[in-house]
């Protein structure tokens, strides 16, 4: 399975990119760093610059066709930039339309709000997004991890880096149970 990790070129929280990436790799799946531009993603540890990561795939269209699932890492600047990019928003929306699993942590649900995919769903996030999620028609909960199976796509969300173990475990379970997992292995 190919898993898209969508980030802007700057502002992603490093551990929210690298921990799920490692978990995906350890399960034999292929993580791909997707961005709106070619180059290297500048990650951060809160407000301090951290490592850089090469972009594997530049958004040219707005479909999930090349991928089996999507991870949206947080950081404040990352989802704020993504939600202002029409291609990124369309790309996120396509995973829901195609019933593919999506995982978002911390501030990443801002992009989900912009893609208009939280209506009728229960999710968690960094607490400052609660009002945005409610205003977009979602139900916000203060939980370590929240798995929402509202059709058509499964959504896994978490609040912060301290929740990464639960976030990764829940997302890996959903990936393993996904119809796209069996289709990708055949």
Query: pLDDT tens digits for 9-43?
Result: 999 999 999 999 999 999 999 999 999 999 999 99
pTM of the model: 0.95
What is the per-residue pLDDT across 72-129, written as a single tens digit (0 to 9) for each?
999 999 999 999 999 999 999 999 999 999 999 999 999 999 999 999 999 999 999 9
DSSP code, position 62: S
- The answer to the question of residue 107 being in a domain is yes
Task: State the total domains in the chain.
Answer: 1
Question: Could you tell me which residues are beta bridge partners of residue 40?
Answer: 54
Q: Which range of residues forms the domain containing residue 97?
A: 2-178
- Point out the catalytic residue in the list 106, 148, 168, 180: 106
- The answer to the question of residue 186 being in a domain is no
Question: Could you tell me which residues are beta bridge partners of residue 41?
Answer: 53
Pairing of strands 69-72, 102-105: parallel
- Point out the catalytic residue in the list 107, 148, 168, 180: 107
pLDDT over 90 percentage in the chain: 92
- The answer to the question of residue 183 being in a domain is no
- The answer to the question of residue 62 being in a domain is yes
Dump the DSSP string for 148-160.
E--SS--EEEESS
Domain at 173, CATH number: 3.40.50.880
Active site residue 106: yes
Range 56-59, long-range pairs (CB < 8 A, 24+ positions): 56/32, 57/4, 57/32, 57/33, 58/34, 59/34, 59/35, 59/85, 59/87, 59/88, 59/91
Active site residue 168: no
Angle at 40 between CA 52 and CA 16, to 5 degrees: 50
- The answer to the question of residue 184 being in a domain is no
DSSP code, position 162: G
Half-sphere exposure of 16 (CA within 13 A, CB side): 32
């Amino acid at each position: 399975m190919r898993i898209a990790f969508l980030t802007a070129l700057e502002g992603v929280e490093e551990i929210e990119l690298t921990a799920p990436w490692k978990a995906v790799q350890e399960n034999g799946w292929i993580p791909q760093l997707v961005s709106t531009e070619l180059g290297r993603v500048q990650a951060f540890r809160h407000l301090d610059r951290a490592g850089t990561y090469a972009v594997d795939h530049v958004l040219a269209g707005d479909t999930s066709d090349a991928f089996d699932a999507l991870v949206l890492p947080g950081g404040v600047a990352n989802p704020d930039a993504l939600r202002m990019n029409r291609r990124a928003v369309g790309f996120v929306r396509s995973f829901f339309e195609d019933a593919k699993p999506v995982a978002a942590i911390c501030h990443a649900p801002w992009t989900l709000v912009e893609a208009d995919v939280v209506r009728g769903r229960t999710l968690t996030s960094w607490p400052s997004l609660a009002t945005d999620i409610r205003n977009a028609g979602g139900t916000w909960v203060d939980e370590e991890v929240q798995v929402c199976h509202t059709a058509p796509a499964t959504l896994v969300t978490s609040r912060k880096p301290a929740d990464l173990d639960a976030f990764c475990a829940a997302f890996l379970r959903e990936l393993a149970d996904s119809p796209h997992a069996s289709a990708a292995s055949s």
